[in-house]
């Protein structure tokens, strides 16, 4: 998402024609594919795609771009580079046009929302746990992961409103909410980080589809409340908000509606020093795994 915005911004700055080709990406199964003159060239030269890493994006892009100016063939680029988050109205419209569900996926969105009783107006309560919680199986169950889950549960209980739909990057947290009978709607999604498409296989198809459905649900929300265990707001919700003009509220920057307290105690072997990971959880930092 941010990489596409970055390339759009570079096209405005350097004056080249920018085409988004999704035919080799799993998202092509769910979005309208926009035909263009170079589609066959892309298929035949997929091994020539230049990869631009996250940092430093523009200097590396300029080097690759300048080297391509003497060639008559299109420059193929794939990137997750960070963009300027001051997105123009033209860029927003470009992204909305690119992010258009095809008929089959539009029907899937409608049916899934009907199944879960999603009607406007609704808002989103989103919790971004650390990367180790991305996978279906999540991290091993230990004091650190349990503390993280309990703290996340406390955030939900405090900030959940009647019209909220819950989203998270953790399947286990979704299941934990259900087991604790927390009164908030959830799609029960088995989430997938979009950057994981580099290792995409058929077993990931349903997770990708469910996660993409959640993204489009974000775009129709009245607001998005989010809490990240990192120091930054999750790109998943941030760019949905930026492109579709949905207010994104960082709960770590709002006035607390409660005083943080120690999460439920867990029987542990005595230590000479208090585990720093429990403090990290309370301040929104990535939990550290302490070997005992």
Shared domain check, 192 and 70: no
Question: What's the total number of domains in the chain?
Answer: 2
131 and 221 inside one domain: yes
Domain-embedded: residue 288: no
Q: Is residue 8 part of a domain?
A: yes
HEC sequence for 47-66: HHCEEECCCCHHHHHHHHHH
Domain shared by 149 and 194, yes or no: yes
292 located within any domain: no
- For residue 55, being part of any structural domain is answered with yes
Query: What strands, in cross-sheet order, belong to the sheet with 164-168?
Result: 185-186, 164-168, 123-128, 224-228, 248-250
Tracing tokens 């980080």 back to the chain, one arrives at 193
Give yes or no: residues 150 and 269 share one domain. Answer: yes
Domain end (from 100, 124, 151): 100
Same-domain pairing of 227 and 111 = yes
Could you list the residue range(s) of the whole structural domain that residue 59 is in? Answer: 2-100
pLDDT reported for residue 6: 94
Q: What is the distance between the alpha carbons of residues 146 and 85, in angstroms, rounded to a whole number?
A: 35
Q: In the numeric block, which tokens belong to residue 181? A: 């009978």
Q: Note the pLDDT of residue 255.
A: 61
197 located within any domain:
yes
pLDDT of 147 reads: 79
Residues 189 and 267 in one domain: yes
Last residue of a domain, one of 80, 100, 120: 100
Do 189 and 219 fall into the same domain? yes
Query: In this structure, are 117 and 249 located in the same domain?
Result: yes
Which residue carries 């911004």 as its tokens? 9
- Angle, vertex CA 61, rays to CA 94 and CA 87, nearest 5: 30
Q: Is residue 58 part of a domain?
A: yes
Shared domain for 89 and 112, answered yes or no, is no
Determine the pLDDT at residue 134. Answer: 61
Spatial separation of the C-alpha atoms in residues 128 and 166, rounded to whole Å: 11
Strands (E), the chain: 50-52, 77-79, 123-128, 164-168, 185-186, 224-228, 248-250
3-state secondary structure of 79: strand
CATH number at 146 reads 3.40.50
**Nearest-angstrom CA–CA distance, 119 and 235:** 25
Report pTM: 0.80
Residues of the chain short of pLDDT 50, as ranges, are 136-139, 196-197, 199, 258-292
Q: Is residue 104 within a helix (H) or strand (E), and if so which, with residue range?
A: helix 103-115
End of a domain among 52, 80, 100?
100
My answer on whether 76 and 167 are in the same domain is no
**95 inside domain:** yes
**pLDDT for residue 128:** 92
Do 123 and 96 fall within a single domain?
Answer: no
Contact 116, 187 (CB under 8 A): yes
Asked if residue 182 is part of any domain, the answer here is: yes
Q: Decide: helix, strand or coil at residue 181.
A: coil
As a whole number of angstroms, the distance between CA 191 and CA 229 comes to 17
What is the model's pLDDT at position 149? Answer: 80
- 127: burial class by Cβ within 10 Å (0-12, 13-18, 19+)? buried
Asked if 119 and 225 sit in the same domain, the reply is: yes
């Amino acid at each position: 998402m941010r990489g596409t915005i970055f390339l759009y911004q570079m096209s405005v700055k350097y004056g080249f024609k920018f085409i988004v080709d999704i035919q080799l990406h799993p998202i092509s199964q769910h979005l309208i594919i926009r035909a263009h003159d170079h589609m066959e060239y892309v298929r035949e030269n997929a091994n020539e795609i230049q990869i631009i890493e996250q940092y430093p994006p523009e200097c590396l892009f300029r080097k690759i771009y300048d080297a391509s100016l003497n060639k008559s063939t299109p420059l193929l680029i794939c990137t997750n580079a960070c963009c300027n988050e001051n997105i123009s109205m033209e860029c927003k419209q470009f992204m909305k046009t690119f992010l258009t569900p095809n008929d089959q996926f539009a029907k899937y969105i409608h049916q899934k929302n009907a199944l879960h009783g999603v009607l406007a107006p609704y808002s989103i309560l989103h919790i971004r746990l650390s990367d180790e919680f991305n996978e279906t199986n999540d991290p091993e169950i230990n004091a650190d992961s349990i503390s993280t889950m309990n703290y996340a549960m406390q955030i939900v209980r405090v900030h959940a409103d009647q019209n909220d739909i819950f989203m998270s990057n953790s399947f286990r947290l979704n299941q934990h909410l259900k087991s604790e009978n927390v009164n908030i709607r959830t799609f029960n999604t088995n989430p997938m980080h979009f950057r994981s498409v580099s290792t995409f296989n058929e077993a990931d198809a349903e997770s990708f589809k469910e996660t993409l459905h959640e993204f489009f649900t974000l775009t129709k929300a009245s607001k998005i409340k989010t809490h990240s265990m990192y120091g930054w707001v999750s790109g998943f919700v941030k760019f949905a908000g930026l492109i579709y003009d949905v207010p994104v509220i960082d709960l770590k920057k709002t006035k607390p509606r409660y005083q943080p307290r120690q999460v439920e105690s867990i029987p542990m072997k005595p230590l000479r020093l208090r585990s720093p990971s429990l403090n990290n959880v309370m301040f929104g930092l990535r939990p550290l795994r302490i070997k005992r």
